[in-house]
Amino acid sequence: MISSSRKYLIDQHCGTPLHKKKCDQQKTSRVSQTSMDKCLANSFKKTVKEAVKKKSEILQGEIVSLNQKVESLKSSNIDVVRLLTNGVDVGNHCNKVYSASYASKLQKLSLLLMEVSCINEAGGKKLKEVASLSLAEDYSIKEVHALRPKVRIVGISKDISEDSVLSYLKKQNRNIIHQSSFIQLHRFCPIRANADIFQADLSVDTVTYKLLLLKSGHVLIGLDPCSVFDAIIVPRCYNCNGLFHGSRQCRKQPTCPLCAENHKIKDCQLYKDKSDITDKKRCINCESMRNPPDNLNTKHAAWEYDACASYKVAVGHSKKDVFRI
């Protein structure tokens, strides 16, 4: 999925799904061995068999009707694909990239859900306009917010001001950064080792991220070639110290990032002692890790990312999400 782009989910309205009808439970009493009771029992069994047969015929008819509806929905998806690719007949190959005027990639996520990508903002506007006019009655169209991975550029001269960093970056690196590229500066500061050398943390779109890291690895800013590093960060909650969410959204009980017990760090005895606690540290994320690797080290704090296997796995998943698009 091309991420400087606009992405939309197209979900078909299929009405209320057919529900399976519950068969009434039939309770039978014990039948005595008299001839009259046997006759009544046989009559009852015959009635039950006829009722079950009739119910089976009804359910079979509903299954046939459902299958016909499924086939109809499958064929209608092709019409949607043709419309969104500006008349290009793509058949069932919804995972390829097409040279249409506004839709660049189509991916079928489920029977009723399709994801469409556009190569730029103008294409996204055109897609939304066409889809809203032609598909609004039968489909709901939602814009998907794109991922914004981060990169760090190191080696910027002190003569370059914070306000001019983006201008230099765009003008001097046009083979990597295009007019439609998304770039946002978050931090501009000197590195620890040398106050005369600066670094910049940027959010970029996924296309620019791939070009910066995979094809280039460096950019020119002013007269200095600067190195580009991956700066994808997985958020950590300061309440439960879990990953992928912040403390504002957290509803879990507090967990100490130092000893993994159910209290805040200010109440932690290890934190108060300030002694050598290396062997007493416990990472809550590594201890609760699913399918942990052999010899997993859990004796570290939750914020010690260099030693945290759980955090490294989380970063790896985030990178896969970026390169999947």
Q: State percent of the chain over pLDDT 90.
A: 21
Is 200 a residue whose pLDDT tops 70? yes
Break the chain into its structural domains and give their ranges: 1-12+35-146, 150-230, 235-325
Q: Mention every residue, 6+ apart, whose C-beta is less than 8 A from residue 301.
A: 257, 258, 281, 283
pLDDT in tens, 2-44: 334 556 555 655 544 433 333 444 444 444 444 555 555 455 5
Q: How many angstroms from the chain centroid is the CA of residue 272? A: 40
Distances (CA, A) of 222 to 169, 188, 299: 9, 15, 45
pLDDT value at residue 318:
77
Q: In what order do the strands lie in the sheet with 197-204?
A: 183-190, 197-204, 150-157, 224-230, 218-221
Q: How far apart are CA 263 and CA 250, in angstroms?
A: 15
pTM of this prediction exceeds 0.85: no
Q: How confident is the model at residue 64 (pLDDT cuts 50, 70, 90)?
A: very low
pLDDT value at residue 96:
38
- Compute the average pLDDT of residues 125-148: 67
Length of the chain: 325
Q: How far apart are CA 141 and CA 12, in angstroms?
A: 9
Query: Does residue 88 sit in helix, strand or coil?
Result: coil
pLDDT value at residue 284:
93
Q: How confident is the model at residue 103 (pLDDT cuts 50, 70, 90)?
A: low
- DSSP 8-state secondary structure symbol assigned to residue 267: G
In CATH, the architecture of 150-230 is 2-Layer Sandwich (3.30)
Which has more confidence, 120 or 169?
A: 169
Kindly state the tokens that stand for 262. Answer: 């159910």
